Structure 1
């Protein structure tokens, strides 16, 4: 059952209504009032064009020139018409088109033809949608377009005549003025922070906007302090948010310097906190762990951002504010979700994956979560956010979080998480032989009277990961007698792994792409191999498998399992024997 308080529900409804009213008022303002300010002073100009860190693909320039727009997984061929006159196949395609991020591909193929093409497309947008468009003028899309026009100003304005130059500045000034009014109504999280980034860019890059720099900087600083946690994570708990934001914040800091203005301390402190977290979320293969909305890792962009990290220090192990744990031993990395859901308004991309973990070794992913694809997220979002799509425990085929969905709020926020784990207890311990993390959560306490406790122990040489899942009573000394207690311990595997069952049914052999062989042993329990899907790859969804241990919590309140390199199999068997000796009474 949804657990949204009346106050939270009222705030969401008021925000949705306010956002709608803001757009109605904004449309009237753009159509009528703002036309008073059509005049642009002769001294109005673009002072600087900030750097864009996002990767350009020059081969895309010829496609755009031919009127073939491949965006967000869909292709639209314009056949001589303007792309802004075409019916968008999806909302994501429309957002990508109207955000103008594709201009960087024209910049990558720098030529007279691409400069003219960029100028013509910008001019078409000004003619067709520069007065108003219900999608193009949303603050989330508007902010991306402002940043794209500013970062690609040298491309757009090269060889431009005075008429187009002034037409461009007049449109850009109008968009910035409208964004200044509506930035606070942008979707909370990364989109709202990007709106304040866009306003700060405009104040630095446009001579006519410099008078707004102080207020833009103040709003940006307040939003950075609210959204960037003390350990450097983002308040949404999505690791990918760090990449998106740093791709804008790093050039923004340089833009302050280029204008001989000291960057605000909040900006510099946020960057300093965020950079180490990039290394925190990276696996041994340099890709990000798939938690809370993270999809495929943009390797080129990540490498570019990391080049700005002068310290290059080792990542922290315990990100308590972000709610993650990291264990690293030689060639192996374990990352674990140990946090509560983000605030309600920021939970549209959050997942019910508490106590899920991922394992990688020698640049090979082994245990993963399903993740989200880069394109077509809407088709997979419901599945990917469920607890069953994560390498953790599900009870009675339900998720550890409640999802709140109404028709009114879905259009503005998406499906939010309204309840889930509220009390999470985590401890760490280490010695010369291993490092251990023990965590418990109460996401199933109200419904089934169960506390899930998971312990992960990674050997010092990185060759063995031992796990233990314990199901404790939330109240009293025993699990509720009449409450369903079926559990499933899931381990989703990377699609490059080849799986072979063992004869006894208690384990499998995992052959990695680099020819390493790992063994999984469930000790006292049977292991099933079932179908799964990997959504976090660059090539789109791929079939894979998951290892599943099923049982009943009252009969089997403890499940032990081990991943180990093949040359560690004798020690794995010994560990299984020790488990039987130390836990009498468990089913054999």
Structure 2
């Protein structure tokens, strides 16, 4: 602990070093041993590790005390503590000798709070994640010469593995169930006598992945942040196979590589994520460390029908488009009405973004704002009569709207072209939204058109207003042109871009963007506004780099 840590924190460290406090947790069996210790090749964040040495877990924009309050409290911050993924950051900032004092103190606190009872901390996904990180950072949590502490930890680890044997399949479908089964396999590979557990775990993980992933490797939650965690879980599990000198099943290798390709497909030019399904961009440094250290290699997924994100790129210009319905409510609590929205970056400079959200991070954003961030208007796409393309009910659940997206895509020597359409507005307005995009192969021009095409028996009586929104990244200065039909976009990170439009009137409005720490950053948006009749209409627009 740092000399700046509180007296109470130092007292806790000293008390937890005494075996008498933990002796009651010892099982009747002889202390177990890990058969192998896997290596985590993902580099942690040194700055976060240094904060840990001061007794604080940095999560989003919050600093969670490691030794104050109820360790078992609910909430996103508690979940980050419970999984012990923060050991990775501690190892980036502290030697084994220095880091072990803090790591063992926190593990000891956890054992005292949860080691003698099955409670919320024994959720199968928590145990799956905990086994992966406790094993990878065993040198930090098992360095103590206190036999009582070591025995308590190893026996609790064995009990957790047995708990997972019967509870992994009961975890919620998706990433949580995948994580639980990863823990079963890891325990089988690394704890003595776990051979039969490995086979059972591999079968369970196969089922979990089949229900959690689309065929193209993306999660059914369609959450880029969850996708990064999936890649992390599978990368850590691969390390367990290597440590145990066991062969990784081909099906697991294929699923892991597909997961990474899907993750690559939603990254922007700055190396961070595009913002979808209530999630923000994360942090480029941490994402890069994951991609470099996970042991996998894959090309970005460009045409994803299940995962739903289409990627277009040319000479440093990247466009990511949501070309699928929102995820089901069971798959994603923060699913958003973002169909046909896109993000655009030029090199490391983001130009067009979606407002995003805090995702799994603890946040001080109000619940009303979090719900507003899920609306169609919070994304860079067309909004008809201020109505979501997929209805979001007052309780936050998704209702009627986009059920399918028709896609046509082609590439030639001049450009990449994508046309996609959805019927989310047919029931209420009798209009299909069709968006066409063309990215030149020199990366200097993105040309788009939004069409509203009449379909079905429902007709607009007179006219309905529309707004085509382009939320600009923070730091982008938009200067309207003299004719009011365009704007010059300037930033410190890229050459100027010109924006032009036709078919409506161009305005600018305030907007905001949720950054990688879950904080709201003020920005602006370009908005093309107008009205459409029951016959439909078309709005054209163009982004062009000036050099």
CA contact (8 A) 1:39 1:170 kept: no
Q: Which has the higher helix share?
A: 1
SS state of the match for residue 173, structure 1? helix
Q: How far off its partner does 1:298 sit?
A: 3.4
Q: How far off its partner does 1:549 sit?
A: 1.1
Q: 1:160 aligns with which of 134, 137, 145?
A: 145
Partners in 1 of 2:50 and 2:460 — Cα distance? 67
Q: 2:419 aligns with which of 421, 438, 456?
A: 438
Q: In the alignment, what sits opposite 2:434? A: 453
Q: 1:96 aligns with which of 39, 61, 80?
A: 80
Measured against aligned partners, the alpha-carbon deviations of 1:184-207 in whole angstroms (never above 9, x if no partner) come to 332332122111111211111111
Q: 1:267 aligns with which of 235, 252, 259?
A: 252
Q: 1:147 to 1:306 in 2, by over 3 A?
A: closer
Q: What does 1:85-484 align with in structure 2 at a 5 Å threshold?
A: 85=70, 91-108=75-92, 109-132=94-117, 134-307=119-292, 314-373=299-358, 374-376=361-363, 379=366, 380-404=369-393, 415-475=396-456, 480-482=459-461
Partners in 1 of 2:26 and 2:97 — Cα distance? 33
CA contact (8 A) 1:45 1:208 kept: no
Q: 1:262 to 1:456 in 2, by over 3 A?
A: same
Cα RMSD for the two superposed structures: 2.8
SS state of the match for residue 392, structure 2? strand
TM-score by length of 2: 0.87
Q: 1:328 to 1:104 in 2, by over 3 A?
A: closer
SS state of the match for residue 461, structure 1? coil
Q: How far off its partner does 1:520 sit?
A: 0.9
CA contact (8 A) 1:71 1:97 kept: no
Identify unmatched segments of 5+ residues in structure 2.
1-23
Q: In the alignment, what sits opposite 1:546? A: 525
Partners in 1 of 2:397 and 2:38 — Cα distance? 36
Q: 1:72 to 1:198 in 2, by over 3 A?
A: farther
SS state of the match for residue 236, structure 1? coil
> Does residue 39 of structure 2 align to residue 51 of structure 1?
yes
Partners in 2 of 1:448 and 1:256 — Cα distance? 55
Measured against aligned partners, the alpha-carbon deviations of 1:479-512 in whole angstroms (never above 9, x if no partner) come to 7132762211100001121111112211111012
How many residue pairs are counted as aligned between the two chains?
518
Measured against aligned partners, the alpha-carbon deviations of 1:422-462 in whole angstroms (never above 9, x if no partner) come to 13111123333222111110111112221101111112222
CA contact (8 A) 1:401 1:419 kept: yes
Measured against aligned partners, the alpha-carbon deviations of 1:332-379 in whole angstroms (never above 9, x if no partner) come to 221111112223410313211000011112322111111123441863
Q: 1:160 to 1:444 in 2, by over 3 A?
A: farther
Partners in 1 of 2:269 and 2:59 — Cα distance? 31
Q: 2:62 aligns with which of 63, 74, 83?
A: 74
Q: In the alignment, what sits opposite 1:530? A: 509
Q: In the alignment, what sits opposite 1:19? A: none
Q: 1:468 to 1:150 in 2, by over 3 A?
A: same
Deviates further, 353-362 or 512-521: 512-521
CA contact (8 A) 1:350 1:385 kept: yes
Partners in 2 of 1:465 and 1:197 — Cα distance? 42
Q: In the alignment, what sits opposite 2:544? A: 564
Deviates further, 557-566 or 63-72: 63-72
Partners in 2 of 1:515 and 1:66 — Cα distance? 39
CA contact (8 A) 2:174 2:209 kept: no
Partners in 2 of 1:221 and 1:503 — Cα distance? 60
SS state of the match for residue 194, structure 1? helix
Q: In the alignment, what sits opposite 1:510? A: 489
Partners in 2 of 1:509 and 1:58 — Cα distance? 39
Q: 1:483 to 1:508 in 2, by over 3 A?
A: same
Deviates further, 345-354 or 416-425: 416-425
Partners in 1 of 2:481 and 2:493 — Cα distance? 21
Q: 1:52 to 1:354 in 2, by over 3 A?
A: same
Q: In the alignment, what sits opposite 1:409? A: none
CA contact (8 A) 2:479 2:487 kept: yes
Q: In the alignment, what sits opposite 2:4? A: none
Q: How far off its partner does 1:326 sit?
A: 1.8
CA contact (8 A) 1:232 1:273 kept: yes
SS state of the match for residue 98, structure 1? helix
Q: 1:103 to 1:253 in 2, by over 3 A?
A: closer
Q: 1:317 to 1:171 in 2, by over 3 A?
A: closer
Partners in 1 of 2:45 and 2:88 — Cα distance? 8
Measured against aligned partners, the alpha-carbon deviations of 1:155-211 in whole angstroms (never above 9, x if no partner) come to 111133332221111111222222333323323321221111112111111114443
CA contact (8 A) 2:423 2:431 kept: yes
